[in-house]
């Protein structure tokens, strides 16, 4: 994963989520606030179960149920604070991109590893294509699937004793 510098944002993720919840007639509970804090503590790709495990490993004394995590992830996505990047190993993989620059992903279909990259040429090509059809593009999302270097290497096999004779 590339190390992107954060963009300056006017409203914290917690406040933005609080505003979103208010539009739905809901409030920001302590559990939801803990989830937002954990999601935005680092820019890592994760699935819901990994987030549950990370939160369980913290000895804060506050429990957050698995169902609360799943519901909150859906609301964070609806609020535009989180997005599903891919589906690997039958699990949705998320990242937060609120406060981070536009970037794209290479995704290994074998191991599920995600590699982030930025390329201004791709954005320029997409803008030219959009201009050709009078399309107003305000963002893009590019996911390229294939096999990573590690997975494409031939397996290391041990020689059988008969091969050594």
**CATH number, position 131:** 3.30.1490.190
Q: What are phi and psi of 54, to 5 degrees?
A: -60, -40
> Given 42, 66, 100, which residue is the final one in a domain?
100
Indicate whether 113 belongs to any domain: yes
- Find out whether 108 is annotated in a ligand binding site: yes
- Find out whether 140 is annotated in a ligand binding site: yes
- Find out whether 159 is annotated in a ligand binding site: no
d(CA 105, CA 110): 15
Indicate whether 154 belongs to any domain: no
> How many Cβ atoms are within 10 Å of 7's Cβ, its own excluded?
11
- Find out whether 111 is annotated in a ligand binding site: yes
Indicate whether 156 belongs to any domain: no
pLDDT digits (tens, 9 = 90+) for 124-155: 999 999 999 999 998 888 889 999 999 998 87
pLDDT digits (tens, 9 = 90+) for 89-135: 778 889 887 777 788 899 998 888 889 898 989 989 999 999 999 99
- Find out whether 45 is annotated in a ligand binding site: no
Tokens of 100: 């981070």
For 55, the domain range is 9-100
- Both 22 and 88 in a single domain? yes
Q: How many domains does the chain have?
A: 2
Give yes or no for a contact between 105 and 114, defined as CB atoms under 8 angstroms apart: yes
Q: What is the pTM of this model?
A: 0.73
- Find out whether 90 is annotated in a ligand binding site: no
List the one residue out of 99, 36, 45, 95 whose CA is nearest residue 69.
36
């Amino acid at each position: 994963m590339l190390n992107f510098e954060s963009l300056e944002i006017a409203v914290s993720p917690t406040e933005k989520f609080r505003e979103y919840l208010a539009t739905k007639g809901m409030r920001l509970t302590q559990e939801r606030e803990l989830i937002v804090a954990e999601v935005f503590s680092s820019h890592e790709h994760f699935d819901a179960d990994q987030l549950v495990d990370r939160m369980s490993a913290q000895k804060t004394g506050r429990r957050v149920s698995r169902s609360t995590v799943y519901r909150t992830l859906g609301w964070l996505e609806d609020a535009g604070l989180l997005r599903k990047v891919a589906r690997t190993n039958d699990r949705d993989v998320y990242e937060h991109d609120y406060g981070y620059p536009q970037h794209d992903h290479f995704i290994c279909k074998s191991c599920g590893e995600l590699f982030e990259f930025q390329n201004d040429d791709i954005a320029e090509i997409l803008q030219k294509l959009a201009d050709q059809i009078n399309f107003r593009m305000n963002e893009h999302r590019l996911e390229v699937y294939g096999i990573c270097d590690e997975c494409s290497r031939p397996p290391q096999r041990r020689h059988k004793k008969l091969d050594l004779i």
